[in-house]
């Protein structure tokens, strides 16, 4: 069997999947993630699911090529609809827009409890974070990965508890802020830049910028605090 190489983003997602998991990879496309994990003996079994036939066929071919048809099933479905029959205890939804991930969670027919969710939004990370906090999902861990651009990976579980977070936490990730490090500084700078552009645009349009200015202040404080920490460490 040929060794499958994952890029940093996918490797980080794979590392979030617990050993022995029953995995549902939603929007699997090529099916690389379940194939990699099955080849490593890291999962009990998996379902590779996609809404579109063409990508799912790529996954089918990949699974066959690696002789993994007894470990990985495939499913043509929209999001998590009908996925309960595979009884997954870990769900990965990666490489899709944050709003689509919210919609998939909202329309899920899978019992919410007892499942680890590993989510990697391509856009609207703050919106997904707000959705999770408002809808009873607790964010248990988070990562920032640089692979050509910065990606956020969010691990969450459903407990029914509503979590309160500041706006900067939604944009950067509370766990990421706790961990600190260079990736956090890079993400903070990116969000700062984007927010500054937004403030300028809203000012030009004569719109209120109170919320954006409050976010800028939070972000600047985080950047300053973590820069200071980093400088202290290198002295």
106 is a contact residue toward ligand SAM (CB under 6 A): no
Q: How far is the CB of 211 from ligand SAM (least distance, A)?
A: 31
- Closer residue to ligand SAM (CB): 94 or 187: 94
Count of residues in contact with ligand SAM, rule CB under 6 A: 15
Q: How far is the CB of 77 from ligand SAM (least distance, A)?
A: 7
| Residues 66-95 as x/- pattern, contact with ligand SAM by CB under 6 A | ------------xx--------------xx
- Footprint (CB under 6 A) of ligand SAM, residues 22-51: 26-29, 50-51
- Closer residue to ligand SAM (CB): 52 or 159: 52
C-beta of residue 219 within 8 angstroms of C-beta of residue 168:
yes
- Closer residue to ligand SAM (CB): 49 or 216: 49
Which listed residue (8, 19, 52, 65) binds ligand SAM by CB under 6 A? 52
Written as one string, the DSSP assignment of the chain is: -PPPP--HHHHHHHHHSPTTEEEEEET-TT-HHHHHHHHTT-EEEEEEEESSHHHHHHHHHHHHHTT-TTTEEEEE-STTTTGGGG--SEEEEEEE-HHHHHHHHHT--S--TT-EEEEEESS-HHHHHHHHHHTTEEEEEEEEEESSSEEEEEEEEE-S------HHHHHH-HHHHHH-SHHHHHHHHHHHHHHHHHHHHHHHTT---HHHHHHHHHHHHHHHHHHHHHHHHH-
Which listed residue (12, 38, 96, 139) binds ligand SAM by CB under 6 A? 96
Q: How far is the CB of 116 from ligand SAM (least distance, A)?
A: 16
| Residue numbers at the binding site for ligand SAM (CB under 6 A) | 26-29, 50-52, 55, 78-79, 94-96, 100, 104
């Amino acid at each position: 069997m040929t060794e499958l190489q994952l890029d940093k983003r996918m490797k980080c997602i794979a590392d979030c999947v617990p050993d022995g998991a029953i995995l549902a990879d939603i929007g699997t496309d090529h099916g690389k993630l379940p194939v990699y994990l099955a080849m490593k003996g890291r999962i009990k079994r998996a379902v590779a699911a996609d809404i579109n036939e063409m990508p799912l066929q790529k996954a089918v071919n990949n699974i066959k090529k690696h002789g993994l048809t007894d470990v990985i099933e495939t499913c043509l479905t929209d999001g998590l609809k009908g996925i309960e029959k595979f009884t997954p205890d870990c769900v990965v939804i990666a490489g899709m827009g944050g709003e689509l991930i919210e919609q998939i969670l909202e329309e899920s027919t899978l019992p919410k409890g007892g499942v680890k969710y590993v989510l990697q939004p391509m856009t609207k990370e703050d919106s997904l974070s707000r959705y999770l906090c408002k809808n009873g999902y607790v964010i248990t861990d988070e990562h920032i990965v640089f692979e050509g651009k910065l990606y956020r990976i969010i691990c969450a579980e459903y407990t029914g508890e509503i979590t309160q977070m500041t706006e900067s936490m939604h944009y950067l990730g509370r766990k990421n802020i706790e961990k600190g490090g260079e990736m956090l500084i890079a993400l903070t700078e990116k969000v700062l830049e984007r927010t500054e552009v937004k403030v300028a645009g809203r000012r030009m349009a004569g719109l209120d910028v109170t919320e954006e200015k409050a976010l800028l202040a939070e972000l600047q404080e985080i950047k300053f605090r973590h820069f200071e920490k980093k400088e202290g460490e290198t002295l």
